[in-house]
Structure 1
Amino acid sequence: MNLNVVLAIFRKDLITSVKSKNLLIILLTPVFLSLLFNSTISLTDNTVVPVAVYDEGSSTDFIEYLSSRNNYDVTIADSAVKSEELLYNQKVAAIMLVPKGFSAEIKSGLTPSLNIIVNPYEAKSVLFLQTYKDIIMDFTGQRYPVNITLNTLSGDLQSRFNIPVWIMFTVIFVGMMVLPNTLTTEKEKKTLDAILVSPASEKDVIYGKSLFGLFLTILISLVIIIINRGFIGNFLSVTIFIVLGSAVFTGFGLLIASYADNYSSASLYSTICMAPMILLALLADLSREIGYISHLVPSTYVFYGIKSAMLNNSGISDLYPEIGTLLIFNILVYVLTFRVLKKKRYS
């Protein structure tokens, strides 16, 4: 390996990246999504659910009670058909069809019926489904047979639980998108051919390109940690998994770029490969079958390692199987990439 050549390739890519709008969009995407998600969490604390109510008669006290709730925006419909129109037109998240004599039957100790229709595709319907039973029980004066104390995490703590997800997404997204952007652009401009016929070897190209991708991936990961105030847990272990994860997904990006002939193809391949990488890691605990399959992709080990280090303060001694597995993935990816570039050089 020629260190001067490697650093020259790194500097060239770094200078070129400053002028590339596509690369800037790639780098800012994880940051923007993280900020957007955090702001969304804070906004959901004050969510008001639009609800339409049709009263067949004599239950004005129930409607007034619903209207007094801070988390419900009640619209009184003139008919059942009108309330259903509001639901189907997505003006409300749910409708309540109150039968005649509803309040009177409750006061008499009877059990009346209440027809509720919910739009499952409306995001605010989730809050309605979580609250409507409690509101009805409060109105009827009934209580649960046990005293329940429910505490929810504050928005700040919730965002901390999401930091490992955003770091994993950043490592995968930036790692697998940066090099396909730069390397395929060089292919189209024939500058890669010039590099390969120069004294630079395939290893020099791989090391130089990987160093550039690794630098950007780690940089954006640190930005994600800073804006989410994620300096928690065992930061040494977190750093190791960021570096190993960045290296392996930068290698994947380099491998994709080596196979693809142009940027459009490389971008398509990267997107197709990213989807299972992200989903399998996130859904690994959903079922035993998905858990088995998820162990075939490096993202699972990156996500588990970062999550354990941040939230459980796990050290290197606790996570050595995941570290060893990521090292194996790195070796396999870069050996394969080296062979692909070598084959293209002599083809």
Structure 2
Amino acid sequence: IVAEPGEMFTAYLDGSNPMTYFPLKDVLETVLSAYMGRRVEPVVDLVVLNQGKASASLLPLWLTITAVMIGVMVLSGSFAEEKEKGTLDNIRISPATDGEILLGKGISGALLVLLVSFMMLLLNKISLSGEGTTAAALLLIFGAISFTAIGLIIGLHARSQSAARAVSTIAYFPLIFPALAADLSQIARQAAGLLPSFYLYRGLRETLQYQANLEAVRADILSLAGFALLLSFITLLAYRRTIERER
């Protein structure tokens, strides 16, 4: 913000990130009035920088939403439907072990997330360096595994397809909104740190929007890998308990 003569100000805002640009734009005059110490409507000449990059900044958001929606909502309903119709019981008769059955379901869900994500990157003509491509791939793979595992857990415990979709819808919003609002408040940031969606969104934003290298998003990749491992283990335990209970 540059102060000009006659209570005029020139404010330079980064328009490449709508998550911070719009809140700052709305409170700018209020902040300047508080700075001047009296109620006044200062004249602000707003200069928006990097406005052409705003569409690119939305891609990490849409990739995160897509991964959560497919992994949690679509897969949970599909898995619960197989339980409800008895298809899963027929699969259990085969020589495949519990781990192999669960692995097959998980791989199919993760591949669907990765396929849709790849199409979105392709349509947006994203160009990354070698390290950037590796970082984005690892983030999407571990994110896909994490959300697929959550969807399988919901599908295992739901008694019907409608129940699975209801639970996944309720779980969808807490997974998404704290992660996207982490920059707006300290409380939201602390809550977002407990969710895999936060590390996926932050890592993709750094990689796709700011061309970060592999080392810069190392913490996000390791956090997502930890979530993927933990949630996969919980899914396997839930699957075995479901089998024992139904026997």
Q: What TM-score, normalized to structure 2?
A: 0.76
- The equivalences for 1:123-138 within 5 A come to none
Q: Secondary structure at the match of 2:106?
A: helix
Which residue of structure 2 lines up, in the alignment, with residue 208 of structure 1?
A: 104
Q: For 2:180 and 2:75, how far apart are their aligned partners in 1?
A: 25
Aligned length in residues: 204
Partner amino acid for 1:179?
Answer: L
State percent identity of aligned pairs: 28
Measure the CA separation in 1 of the matches of 2:153 and 2:127. Answer: 32
2:77–2:162: 8 Å Cα contact kept in structure 1? Answer: no
| Residue equivalent to 1:227 | 123
* Greater RCO (Cα-Cα under 8 Å, separation 6 or more): 2
Q: How does 1:143-222 map to 2 (within 5 A)?
A: 150-154=47-51, 156-222=52-118
Check 1:145–1:324 CA distance in 2 against 1; reply closer, same or farther (3 A cut): closer
Inter-partner Cα distance in structure 2 for 1:270 and 1:230: 31
What is aligned with 2:167?
A: 269
- Which of 227, 238, 241 aligns to 1:340? It is 238
Change in Cα spacing, 1:199 to 1:165, as seen in structure 2 (3 Å) is same
Shift of 1:240: 1.2
Are the aligned partners of 1:163 and 1:230 in contact in 2 as well (CA < 8 Å)? Answer: no
Query: Is the 8 Å Cα contact of residues 196 and 345 (structure 1) preserved in structure 2?
Result: no
Partner of 2:208: 310
8 Å contact from structure 2 (residues 152, 235) kept in 1: yes
2:223 to 325, 328, 334: 325
What secondary structure, in the 3-state scheme, does the structure 2 residue paired with 1:150 have?
A: strand
Measured in 2, the distance between the counterparts of 1:325 and 1:335 equals 16
2:158 paired residue number: 260
Please report how far the alpha carbon of residue 153 of structure 1 lies from its aligned counterpart in structure 2 after TM superposition.
Answer: 4.2
Distance 1:243 1:327 in 2: 9
**Superposed displacement of residue 269, structure 1:** 1.0
Offset, 1:152: 4.9
After superposition, the CA RMSD in angstroms is 2.2
CA distance in 2, matches of 1:174, 1:236: 22
Partner of 1:290: 188
2:184 aligns to what SS in structure 1? coil
**Structure with the higher fraction of residues in helix conformation:** 2
Q: Which blocks of at least 5 consecutive residues in structure 2 are unaligned?
A: 1-25, 27-41
TM-score normalized by the length of structure 1: 0.55
Contact 2:128–2:208 (Cα < 8 Å) also in 1 = yes
The aligned runs of 1:15-164 (5 Å cut-off) are: 150-154=47-51, 156-164=52-60
Residue 318 of structure 1 aligns to a residue whose secondary structure is coil
